[in-house]
Structures are given as C-alpha cells and as structure tokens.
Chain A
Amino acid sequence: MKKYTNTGSKDTRSGFGDGLTELGKTNPNVVALCADLTGSLKMGDFEKNHPERFFQVGIAEANMMGIAAGMTIGGKIPFTGTFANFSTGRVYDQIRQSIAYSDKNVKICASHAGLTLGEDGATHQILEDIGLMKMLPGMTVINTCDYNQTKAATIAIAEHHGPVYLRFGRPKVANFTPEDQTFEIGKAVLLNEGKDVTIIATGHLVWEALQAAEQLEEKGISAEVINIHTIKPLDEAAILASVGKTGCVVTAEEHNFLGGLGESVARTLVLNQPAPQEFVATMDTFGESGTPEQLMEKYGLNAAAIVKASEKVIKRK
C-alpha cells in the first residue's frame, strides 16, 4: 500500500494558529475573537501582530458568537476560538439564530475536541459537536486530521462565504499530509486504494486508519482509505464510488456514533446503494479523565479497533 510518513508530530491546534497567522498577513478583513483561551488555541501570534484585529472577550462565549455575527456586517471575517465544547453546545442558540439562520460569515474554530483532550475529563470532552453543527442548515462542518491539513483548512475557509465549523484537537499527532496541499472544502481525499473494504475516517482517526490498513495488508486484506475532512457538505460521490467497489465500509471518528460522520455515510448509502457498515466511534457515552492514548484505547478509537471492525464488516458482505 501507499506509504505515509510522519514528518514530525504536531498538534492540529498549532495548524490553526499558524494558518491564522498567515491570514493575518494576507487578508486584512480577517479578525479573531477569543474567550480567554488564546494560548490553548495558539492565537498569540495573531494577537501580537494585529492587536487592532484581535478581540479578547473573556469567558463569555455567547457574547463572543453574537459579536462575531455583528462584525460580519461591514465585511469582516471573524474567526472565533475556544474549546469545541464551548464553541457548540454552550452557544447553540446563539449560533443557530445570530449566525446560521442569519447567514453570517463566521468561522467557528474549535480546539480540544473529543476524548484526546485527555485529563480534564468529560466536562470538556465534547463528542456531540459534529452532530450539533451538521444539523444547522447552511453550516459547513470540517474536522481536520493533522497539522498541515488544519493549517490549509484555516486558510481555505476564509475564502468561503458562509458559516463554518472547523474542529481540531489538543494532542500532538502524526503530521503526514503534504505541507503545500490545496484544501478543497467538501472534497474527500483518497489516501490508499484497496478492494476489500473502505475505511472512511475523519480527524485524529485518519492516521489510525492508515495504520489499520497496513495491519490489514499483512493479513491479506486490501483496504481503501478515505480522509473525509468535510463532513458537511459530504463528498457522497467519492463514498459511493469506493463502497461500490469494495462492498462494505468502516467509518472512524472521535465522536458519538449518533450524529457523527458514520451516520452521514450510512444515510448516503441507504439512499443510494445499501452496504454493510461498522462504526468506530464512541457508543452514546461520555468520556472520562485519562491520557489521550488510554482513552482512545478504552473507547475503541484506534487502529486495532478499525482492524477488528474491518474484519467484521467484510464477513457481513
């Protein structure tokens, strides 16, 4: 199979911070708002370079979302930064009315998504945010897999008119996508061609999917691996083409299986060409404290879980 190399582990949130730094230089309409998490979101460079375009709102996320909506009136492109939990569930109605329904060009940038936030525990580990955001009409939902992709996505969403939810994470993870990539919203990335099973992964699970594909190859199973960074709008054509070839699919995400990528894929298949599917996701549960590795192991969100799910789904064909 095609070989991917980790060029040096980095956190995806730094990809966001560096993307924002880049936008600061190239797009004078980009403004940034943060709710007391500038360091965690890696927004410090933007703040330092463009203090007049940086808005520290304090621990007041609802106000931040409203201010961001208002700042679009007059042509600014606001990027809000806080943890995924406080970017979505805490401010759902503000996003729904003032941003999504009002069609405001706000980029909701959410770090520390999912279990890999780690030791802070379930209060901060949101596993429902993709579902919340994808249900909002007009909202684009993106979950990036590594530093390079997150940086490219951050830059790309500034050029897209309309509300965007950009989800990324806290830990250092493998950096394996090209540094000079063009990020196309809504376009799946085929990472490896295979014929026995399709593995569709998003976010931190993409690297795990590649590891799983290597392990499956050793067992004589040929796995196709697709990186879905944009959950909405979903690249249905890419999914149908691949599953049409392999006949079964495993979806993998750091999110509840209710409302996540897996459900979007299932809907696509049911409406077009039903096929067996297995879900690598959390099973309607909250998280808990622990290291990211321990949590991903305990909740079944790693390469081993993808291998197991692949073997199971192939038998169901």
Chain B
Amino acid sequence: MSNTQQLEDFVTQVRRDIVRQVHKVNSGHPGGSLGCAEFISVLYQEVMDRKEGFDMDGKGEDLFFLSNGHISPVFYSVLARSGYFPVEELSTFRLIDSRLQGHPTTHEGLPGVRVASGSLGQGLSVAIGAANTKKLNGDNHLVYSLHGDGELQEGQNWEAIMYAAAKKVDNLIATVDRNHQQIDGCTDDVLPMGNLVQKFEAFGWDVLELENGNNISQVREALKEAKGRTGKGKPVAIIMTTEMGHGVDFMMGSHKWHGVAPNDEQLEKALAQNPETLGDY
C-alpha cells in the first residue's frame, strides 16, 4: 500500500476496531492503542517484508514484537486487516474461548503473534534473540519491536539495551512510544525517565527522533531512515512521540484512557470521529 489516502483509511478503520473491541467487553486499553495506530499500520502495510501466511519461525521475512502487550487492540486489528486471521474474529476480543486474549499470546495459536507479552519489559530481549537467530541463519531480514515509554522503567530493558549495543545487534529497530503517560499519570510525575534519546545514545545505539508518530508521512520517513541505518554495527532506536488516545478527541492526551473502555454514548462519539472506511467486522 503506498497511496496515502488508502493508508489513512486503513488507520481510521483500525481506530474504529480499537474502540469497538474495548467497548464490547468493557475492558482493554484504548489510549495507547489509538496512539500507535499509525505506526503499526505503516509497519505492516508498507515497511515490513512479510511472507504469505504465518509460521512461528518466520525465516525469510521481517519480524515484529509488541512488548507493551496491553495495546493488543491495535495489534489485533492490524494483524487481522493484514490477512493473518479473519477480521470477524476481532468480535471475540477478551471473550472466553477466544484466540484474542487480553494480552497477546502464542498459547491459543493466533497467527501473527510470536511471543506472549503483557508483563512489561520483556520484549526487547526476545527481539534481540530473534535478531541473533536471523544472523546465525544468514537471514538478512530485520526485527522490529515496539515498547511503551513507561515500560522502560522495567530494569530488564536496560540489560537488553546494553547487550544489543555491545554485541552489535544491528538488524534490530526498536521503537519507543513516547506518549508521556502511564497508568498512574504523566511519566514525569510517576518516575521521570529523563532524556531517552541521550540515554539510548549513551548505551551505544543509533537513535532517531520521530516528532509526531501520529503523522503518517513522518512515520514513513522515520522507518525508512531507520531501515537505512541498519547493518552498520549499531542497533537502531526510534523515540517516537505520540499522543495517547489520538483520533478520539475526548481521549486524547490523557492517561485516564489508558485502560478504560468507552460507554455507549462515548463509543458513538468516537465512531463519528472515525467514519467507517474498510467495513466494520
């Protein structure tokens, strides 16, 4: 997909899927999901070199790992609309006997998911491992990962950040969703993390700043630039500023919609702001 209008339509439909999924079961995480709709859509629709179908080993294709698993609604929507499983299955989100668990898992065999995530801070290590194996297999494809900014408060990340630079894991592009929000409030109030660009650089990463992760053109540019910087001896990080709840005016910019579902009236408002484009499930 290269047409910007098509991609914008895709993102709008993903937003509808997100709010509809969480509304139906009155649970889930809409805020971070909406904020990452552009990024994950661009990644799957334009950037990643993906094979038809799904197999766990993923040889000969790019891989993606979602570390902040609570934004499963956006992940599920993009996976379904990228052909990994039927779009209708989004209606089973968080229901009993569903493959669409509250947080993504391999346990129920959902195509597109390669590791469970939800307990925070583990995805970067897993992505590094997958990148190591790509190198051992002589597979030149890349590994992408996405992390919440609050998630970086988990210490395992810094073990992984140190390792990836020291061991020159340069087939990896890790993106941090810098929305400055976490459950208890603004990240600067809960536990300030300082300058993340400088921190990644100090650990030896090649770092890009993406000023507006809710702007499709900017996301495209940043991912293109990041791809160009792989294979040069350093892991690549994108510090991506986004707005939590982007695209739904009453959810935007507030931690209050981190893990709260809209009621019937709020759903109608959210959907009115994101008219149906590709067809609801």
Query: Which residues of A are in contact with B by a Cβ distance under 8 Å?
Result: 31, 52-53, 55, 57-58, 60, 62-76, 78, 93-94, 96-98, 101-104
Contacts and interface: CB of A to CB of B under 8 A. Distances in A.
A68 B129 contact: yes
A64 B122 CA distance: 10
A70 B127 contact: yes
Contacts, number: 118
A52 B138 CA distance: 12
B133 A73 contact: yes
Given A67-B160, A96-B119, A103-B107, 5 more contacts: A66-B160, A67-B129, A67-B163, A69-B125, A104-B115
A58 B63 CA distance: 26
Interface residues of B, number: 38
B106 A74 contact: no
B156 A69 contact: no
A62 B127 contact: no
Interface string B126-143: 111111111011010000
A104 B119 CA distance: 17
A99 to B, nearest CB: 9
Contacts of A78: 129
Find the residue from A62, A67, A76, A102 having the highest chain B CB count within 10 A: A67
Contacts of A76: 133, 136
Interface in B156-186: 156, 159-160, 162-163, 167
A210 B59 CA distance: 50
26 contacts: A58-B163, A60-B163, A62-B122, A63-B160, A66-B122, A66-B126, A67-B126, A67-B129, A69-B125, A69-B129, A70-B128, A70-B132, A71-B130, A71-B132, A72-B129, A72-B133, A73-B130, A74-B59, A76-B136, A93-B122, A98-B115, A98-B126, A101-B106, A101-B107, A102-B107, A102-B116
Contact of B130 (A58, A70, A102): A70
Interface of B: 56-59, 63, 65, 105-107, 114-119, 122-134, 136-137, 139, 155-156, 159-160, 162-163, 167
Contacts of B107: 101-103
Contacts of A58: 159, 162-163
A73 B122 contact: no
Nearest to A67: B129
Contacts of B57: 73-75
A44 B176 CA distance: 37
Given A70-B129, A103-B107, A53 B163 contact: no
A78 B130 CA distance: 12
A129 B134 CA distance: 32
Find the residue from A65, A72, A78 having the highest chain B CB count within 10 A: A72
Contact of A102 (B115, B124, B160): B115
Nearest to A60: B159
A103 B123 CA distance: 15
B211 to A, nearest CB: 30
Given A60-B159, A97-B119, A66 B137 contact: no
A102 B156 contact: no
Contact of B125 (A52, A65, A96): A65
A66 B106 contact: no
Contacts of A63: 125, 128, 156, 159-160, 163
B253 to A, nearest CB: 30
A24 to B, nearest CB: 14
B67 to A, nearest CB: 10
A62 B156 contact: yes
B122 A94 contact: yes
B117 A97 contact: yes
A66 B133 contact: no
A94 B67 CA distance: 13
A31 B127 CA distance: 16
A261 B167 CA distance: 40
B136 A70 contact: no
Contacts of A102: 105-107, 115-116
A74 B126 contact: no
Given A70-B130, A76-B133, A102-B116, A62 B125 contact: yes
B133 to A, nearest CB: 4
Nearest to B106: A102
Nearest to B128: A67
